[in-house]
Amino acid sequence: MILFFLFCSPAFGQDSNLINFSLKDCTVEDGLKIAAMKGQFGLVILCKKPQPRLSMNLESEQPEMAISKVAEAAGFGNLIEGNIRILTTPEIAAYYPRFSQQGVDPGSPTISLDFSETDIRDLMRVVAEHSKTSIALEKSLRGNLTVRVRDAPWRLVVHTIAAAIGAECRFTSSNVYIAPRGRINSLVGAESPSESASRTISLDVRDMDIRDIASMIARYFSHGFIAEATVRGNVTLKLQSVGESQALGWLARSQGFGIQLFGETWVMADSRYLGLVNKNWKGLPPLPGSKTISLAFRDTRLKDVLDVVSRHEGFELAPSRGLDGHITLNMMDRPPEEVFRLLASVHRLTYEVAGNRVIIKPEGPATQFPDEPATVSGPTTPSLTTPMMTGIEPTTSAQSAEVEPPITPDESAKKLVVQGIVGNEELRVAVAALNGKIILLRAGGTINGRFKILEILPDRVVIYFIAEQVRRTLTLSR
């Protein structure tokens, strides 16, 4: 830090509107701060690692021109929004959305921030606290920023911070949603109207497991909670006095899941599976016993949970395949029949009652989603037309009929090769080879009941091995 002051101190000219700028092996960020201070500009800088260093001399320059030259020399894209300068990558700058296009008031009160290399999630928590609003960030948003603004409208500040990392905002009457460009609608979803219930909740969490947050919210409102095995992810979230369904809806959508209330219990899972749960859970037969039961399990084998329920109620659970999945749940004083039905429906199982014996069995092929290849279950993709996938044929039902022997995650990763990725942020599909067969991978889909596709990025696919509960990243084969 001493070297900085020896080599980088600016010498300002006699004209108060001009500066003589001398940098020697100085970080770009510090140089920009000096120029912005002289010009009384706000700064939002996307941090680069490692930070670029510059040596340059500028004489009799306007502060805004000095910022532009320093930014250009360091390879930044340079944007102006009101009195705030945004320094980001040239690619992000090329698609920058003007704040005026948002059609919202810049926001009162104003806000002042002075942070260096700070995580966007922490920045938004500060803004949310100051503006008394709730801000939800999509799960993939990451980035450190240096922000120095004084008395700027808070909505404008949120917009510039989001824009610097390539994200976009959606402002509603009391909420803010932030997601990567093109994915804002999936985060906003069908926003729950403001709940008139007298009970609300405020949250401020940092990198906390989504299941723990959801369970805490549900318990606060005297409801139970169940999370399907694939529900994973840490969340940073700050909510101000919101109702139960709005809080849980935000939480689920931020990680790409769905959530729905069944009786007195919230179920979080792949949003498409919720429709099957809704269809099946009430149609299952009644169970013997009438006591209530309280359960709290984390990543526990389904068979072990069902054994606890059956012993509690005094009926016999017939051995069955399909009970090796894991579950997280927290339920207080619920009828065992309700617990049993929900657990079976979430795992796409059914059961028969024969006296004091309960026989569990898989639902079978009827649980597959319509209009999809049998091997890969995922959302239909009508916007991806044949020309985009020239020479690629989806796996057919006949191809998926073969049953392969169990293999370990490492062996599976070797057999599954990502050959191509097409689409955009709104919808992306990967083309992969599995044991010599070409298949299509869609985010949220599963492959042969073994893997779940968690995320498809421009150059890699993130896969979850269901039985082993292992996460792997497969890069695009070159």
Q: What is the per-residue pLDDT for 321?
A: 64
**Is 60 a domain residue?**
yes
Q: Are 63 and 103 in contact (CB under 8 A)?
A: no
Q: Do 332 and 416 fall into the same domain?
A: no
Please check whether residues 348 and 411 belong to one and the same domain. no
pLDDT reported for residue 112: 92
Per the structure, the complete domain to which residue 306 belongs is given by 192-367
Domain match, 247 and 292 both:
yes
Residue with tokens 């695009």: 476
Residue 162 has a pLDDT of 92
Domain CATH code at residue 398: 2.30.30.830
Whether 178 is in a domain gets the answer no
Is residue 376 assigned to a domain? no
Q: Supply the pLDDT for residue 147.
A: 93
Are 174 and 209 within 8 A, CB to CB?
no
Residues 373/440, Cβ–Cβ less than 8 Å? yes
Is the pTM higher than 0.85? no
Amino acid 425: pLDDT: 63
| Domain-ending residue, one of 75, 94, 113 | 94
Give a yes or no: residue 117 inside a domain: no
Q: Mapped to the 3 state alphabet, what secondary structure does the chain carry?
A: CHHHHHHHCCECCCCCCCEEEEEEEEEHHHHHHHHHHHHCCEEEEECCCCCCEEEEEEEEECHHHHHHHHHHHCCCEEEEECCEEEEECHHHHHCCCCHHHHCCCCCCCEEEEEEEEEEHHHHHHHHHHHHCCEEEECCCCCCEEEEEEEEEEHHHHHHHHHHHCCEEEEECCCEEEEEECCCHHHHHCCCCCCCCCCCCEEEEEEEEEHHHHHHHHHHHCCCEEEECCCCCCEEEEEEEEECHHHHHHHHHHHCCCEEEEECCEEEEECHHHHHHHHHHHHHCCCCCCCCCEEEEEEEEEHHHHHHHHHHHHCCEEECCCCCCCEEEEEEEEECHHHHHHHHHHHCCEEEEEECCEEEEEECCHHHCCCCCCCCEECCCCCCCCHHHHCCCCCCCHHHHCCCCCCCCHHHHHHHEEEEEEEECCCCEEEEEEECCEEEEEECCCEECCCEEEEEEECCEEEEEECCCCEEEEEECCC
Q: Identify the pLDDT of residue 400.
A: 29
Q: Are residues 225 and 304 in the same domain?
A: yes
Cα 137 to Cα 133: distance, rounded to the nearest angstrom: 13
Which pLDDT value is given to residue 369? 36
Residues 199 and 330 in one domain: yes
The answer to whether residue 106 is domain-embedded is: no
285 shares a domain with 215? yes
Residues 327, 242: one domain?
yes
Positive or negative, the CA dihedral 11, 13, 18, 22 is negative
Listed as ranges, residues in the chain with pLDDT below 50 are: 1-14, 196, 365-410, 413, 478
Q: Is residue 249 part of a domain?
A: yes
Do 216 and 313 reside in the same domain of the chain? yes
How high is the pLDDT of residue 319? 66
469 and 334 part of one domain: no
- Domain co-membership, 199 together with 314: yes
Q: Are residues 442 and 345 in the same domain?
A: no
Does residue 326 fall inside a structural domain?
Answer: yes
**pLDDT number for residue 477:** 60
The predicted pLDDT at position 278 comes to 77
The CATH code of the domain that includes 213 is 3.55.50.30
The residues near 198 (Cβ < 8 Å, ≥ 6 apart) are: none
